[in-house]
Amino acid sequence: MAPVVQCMGLTKTYGRKIALNQINLNLERGRIIGLLGPNGSGKTTLIKIINGLLKPTAGEVLINGQRPGVDTKLRISYLPERTYLQPGMKVFELLQYFQDFYPDFRVDRAFDMLARLQIPPQERLKNLSKGTKEKVQLIMVMSRDADLYILDEPIAGVDPAARDYILHTIVSNYNRCGSILLSTHLISDVENILDEVVFIKYGSIVLQAGAEQIRQNERKSVDQFFREVFAC
Amino acid sequence: MLGKLMKYEWKATWKLLLSANVLIIVMTGLARCMVSLVDQAGRSDFRMVDFVAVMVLLTYVGSMFAVCVGTTIFLIHRFYTSTYGDQGYLLHTLPVDTHHIIIAKVLVSAAWVIINMTFIYMSAIFLLATTSEIFRSMMEGMVDMIEYLGAEKISAFTVIMTLIAFVFSVFAKVLKVGACISLGQLSPNHKLLFSFAWYVGVYVVEQLVQSIYFVITIYFQEQIANSDYWSYDSYFDRQWETALLAGIISCVVYYLLTWYVMSRKLNLD
């Protein structure tokens, strides 16, 4: 079976600035992969290209062997780093929206997660706090049975208790046949759930290895190893 | 998926835009009441009712203008934020074709523009009909103008085709805004400013093309007018053809530009 994501010579430039430089990367199925790098290393650019929100300057990306398009969007569940919800919508209307467009959306799962967080479905999104909106967005994304979940900085800017809830939600709700690509620079918080890590620096992949492999070979935690690799 | 996109586009716009049209109805009713009051009151040099009527009519005109401008700004803002703003992250990751996204937005926006214009025209007619004197003289003026132009020979077919041409011109205007916003996205920064610059540029080109067309048309019309074949009805018959052709060409060009940027050059910040 083909890797869920294949990047071949993927390059993205903004004028003279190189955001991604000849990325070659394969992501296998059934794994939780950490896309780790400091701010401005190219994580979000890579994620946007996989989602079809950016066009690469050169190279190609394939999802399930296909270029980004309608078919790949059916199989990817994406959580961006920003709030993409219409503020005037009510929570239950958002559920209806996702149900209308994504056949793999599990509305019962979404209601269950909302109930656990005590988020009223009748509430308008504009009346929710920033943190609650982010949780609602995460619930929408994790209520799908996708092949690939792409989560861009899901725990940035939230308190430690919320981080735990978010990571728990991710691990307990994703489709086990699919993969998770989780981008963050808060390594210590996510380290325990990662099967594999990809280090990205100045738009280039500097390492792709199993999390356990790093711990055994380097005799360090992934967080410590990350600090070493990305030391200023 | 087109139907679903249209449904949510309509849901996102109907509350505010329907309120704007309700405002038109309320202001029309108010203005009509005032005009009737002025008519019924006896004549004297100064009357308070005249002053109030003038103020109400000024507010009426102001509110009609505000509704027109407000609707346009709201629809432009809606297109920008839902397509290239934060909400674009959701829209462009939905498993839907780019054609469907554009068609849904254009159909709903054009529908609102047409509804809005219909309400405003109906409001003006309703208000004019208040004072039978003004209404009668306006109708007579229109009949005189139609007779003068020889347009009484216009067929029902021409009227229908003129309406279709009008609908296409509305689509073209909506698509033009969409295309200019999209073209502005090609710039690495100051995207909104570049969208505006594109709009100005497109407007200038349109005016140039129109001017050239009119110069050529007038030249040929003079030649025809000197011949025995000139008649007003043929002149009117030609107007919808030109308007329809211009509308269709504009629609196709602006649609393709929008589609090209959205499908081939999408670069969400």
Q: Read off the pLDDT of residues A24-36 as tens digits, 9 standing for 90 and up.
A: 999 988 899 999 9
Q: Which amino acid, one-letter code, is at A68?
A: P
Over range B179-196, report the average pLDDT.
92
Span of A52-56, A116-120, B45-49 with lowest mean pLDDT: B45-49
Are residues A77 and B90 in contact, defined by beta-carbon separation less than 8 angstroms? no
ipTM over 0.85: yes
Q: What is the pTM assigned to this prediction? A: 0.87
Chain A, 10 to 29: residues with Cβ < 8 Å from chain B are 14-15
pLDDT at A178: 85
Confidence band (pLDDT; 50, 70, 90) for B43? Answer: low
From the list B86, B97, B268, the residue facing A48 with the nearest CB is B268
Q: Which among A51, A53, A145 is the top mutation candidate for probing chain B, defined by the most B β-carbons within 10 Å of its own β-carbon? A: A53
Are residues A182 and A154 in contact, defined by beta-carbon separation less than 8 angstroms? yes
CB contact under 8 A, B89 and A101: no
Distances (CA, A) of B121 to A107, B28, B60, B62, B117: 46, 11, 13, 15, 6
Q: Which amino acid, one-letter code, is at B134?
A: I
Over range B155-166, report the average pLDDT.
84
CB contact under 8 A, B87 and A86: yes
Chain B contact for A90 (CB, 8 A cutoff): no
pLDDT at B44: 58
pLDDT at A159: 77
Are residues A42 and A200 in contact, defined by beta-carbon separation less than 8 angstroms? yes
- E strands of chain B, at which residues? none
Are residues B180 and B202 in contact, defined by beta-carbon separation less than 8 angstroms? yes
Q: What are B12's two structure tokens?
A: 């996102």
* Short-list A58, B194, B93, CA closest to B101: B93
Measure the CA–CA gap between A73 and B33, rounded to whole angstroms: 57
Considering only residues B129 and B167, tell me which one the structure prediction assigns the higher pLDDT.
B167
Q: Which SS3 state, helix, strand or coil, does residue A79 take?
A: strand
Are residues B23 and B69 in contact, defined by beta-carbon separation less than 8 angstroms? no
Q: Are strands A58-63 and A5-14 parallel, antiparallel or unpaired?
A: antiparallel
Span of A79-93, B2-16, B24-38, B244-258 with lowest mean pLDDT: B24-38
From the list B86, B87, B92, the residue facing A52 with the nearest CB is B92
Name the DSSP class of B267: B
Confidence band (pLDDT; 50, 70, 90) for B104? Answer: very high
| The pLDDT of residue A195 is above 60 | yes
Are residues B12 and A88 in contact, defined by beta-carbon separation less than 8 angstroms? yes
Confidence band (pLDDT; 50, 70, 90) for A134? Answer: confident
CB contact under 8 A, A82 and B4: no
Mind listing the pLDDT tens digit for each residue in A145-167? 999 999 998 887 777 877 888 88
Handedness of CA A86, A88, A93, A95 (dihedral sign): positive
Chain B contact for A100 (CB, 8 A cutoff): yes
Q: Which SS3 state, helix, strand or coil, does residue A228 take?
A: helix
pLDDT at B53: 79
Over range A65-77, report the average pLDDT.
93
* Short-list A133, A131, A141, CA closest to A173: A141
From the list A55, A73, A83, the residue facing B93 with the nearest CB is A73
Q: What are B203's two structure tokens?
A: 């407007």
